[in-house]
């Protein structure tokens, strides 16, 4: 709960200060609105929204706003409405985009299409998007591009979760994973890799691009069925893990973890 609250405060701080990233509709629009840069959603909700779009009501009356489309993105999206947004204030439209790596993806997202509800009815507005939707563009690139084949020896050592698209964003910068030479696997978000107090422990198997972890226990997970990820390396020290199936951590199609190497498996204590 504390981690979720901290994440909520961080989102609030980001949304409150969007002056340098602001883009709005044309002067003279009956209902002017503006948007900030797309962010990875840090607030974990039952609806599992993946991204946040800050929206500013620049009019003199309350409005509702939701996202209809993203310029150059043909994949289906679903959007949560920012309801009853007071005049001259910021709100957040949360949304998710379906992923299909067989379909070409935009290199930049120039604008968004919003549906805005006012006392006179609902209208549509096209609004230029700051930074070209960099966060969403980077996500699609990381999810779909081909990395180098991974050998088991390249996994050996300690990795830290650097970025999360999907659930468990509170683990960024905290969750450490260790792959042992003996096929053992441990993970912990509190620096407990070299103690007996481990959040997750089990074994792993790497076959081609599929990494399968069999969880045997730990204070964070009970024994469970295998968890399978599609794994790829970018260089020696950056790894992409796309969730395929399993629980603890659970996920859904399109969830992606980016990990950075912390230590190589040389001179480390045994697992």
Give the pLDDT score at 191.
76
The total domain count for the chain is 2
Give the pLDDT score at 87.
95
Residue 136 neighbours by CB under 8 Å, 6+ apart: 38, 51, 70, 73, 97, 109
Answer yes or no: do 66 and 19 share one domain.
yes
Asked if the structure places residue 140 within a domain, the reply is no
Give the pLDDT score at 52.
93
Asked if the structure places residue 144 within a domain, the reply is no
Give the pLDDT score at 50.
82
Give the pLDDT score at 221.
83
Asked if the structure places residue 21 within a domain, the reply is yes
Give the pLDDT score at 5.
35
Domain encompassing residue 122:
2-132
Answer yes or no: do 160 and 125 share one domain.
no
Give the pLDDT score at 259.
94
Parts of the chain with a pLDDT under 50: 1-28, 46
| Measured CA distances, 11 to 6, 90, 188, 217, 252 (Å) | 9, 12, 25, 33, 23
> Dihedral through CA 122, CA 127, CA 131, CA 135, nearest 10?
30
Instruction: Check: CB of residue 11 under 8 Å from CB of residue 45.
Output: no
Answer yes or no: do 87 and 181 share one domain.
no
Give the pLDDT score at 12.
40
Asked if the structure places residue 146 within a domain, the reply is no
Span 162-217, pLDDT tens digits:
988 877 888 888 999 999 999 999 999 887 777 778 899 999 999 888 999 999 98
């Amino acid at each position: 709960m504390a981690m979720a609250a901290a994440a909520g405060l961080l989102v609030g701080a980001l949304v409150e200060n969007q002056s340098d990233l602001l883009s709005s509709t044309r002067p003279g629009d009956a209902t002017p609105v503006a948007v900030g840069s797309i962010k990875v959603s840090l607030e974990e909700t039952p609806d599992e929204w993946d991204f946040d779009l800050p929206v500013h009501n620049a009019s003199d009356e309350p409005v509702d706003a939701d996202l209809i489309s993203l310029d150059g993105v043909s994949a289906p999206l679903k959007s949560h409405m920012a309801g009853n947004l007071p005049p001259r204030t910021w709100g957040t439209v949360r949304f998710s985009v379906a992923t299909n790596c067989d379909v070409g993806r935009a290199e930049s997202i120039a604008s968004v299409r919003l549906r805005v509800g006012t006392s006179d009815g609902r209208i549509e507005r096209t609004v230029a998007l700051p930074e070209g939707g960099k966060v969403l563009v980077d996500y699609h690139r990381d999810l779909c591009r081909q990395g180098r084949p991974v050998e088991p020896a390249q996994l050996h050592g300690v990795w830290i979760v650097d970025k999360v698209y999907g659930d468990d964003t509170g683990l960024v910068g905290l969750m450490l994973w260790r792959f042992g030479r003996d096929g053992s696997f441990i993970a912990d978000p509190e620096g407990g890799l070299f103690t007996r107090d481990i959040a997750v422990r089990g074994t792993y198997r790497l076959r081609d691009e599929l990494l399968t972890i069999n969880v045997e226990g730990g204070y964070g997970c009970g024994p469970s069925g295998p968890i399978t990820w599609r794994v790829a390396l970018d260089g020696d020290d950056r790894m992409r893990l796309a969730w395929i199936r399993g629980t603890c951590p659970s996920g859904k199609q399109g969830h992606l973890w980016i990990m950075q190497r912390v230590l190589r498996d040389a001179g480390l204590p045994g697992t």
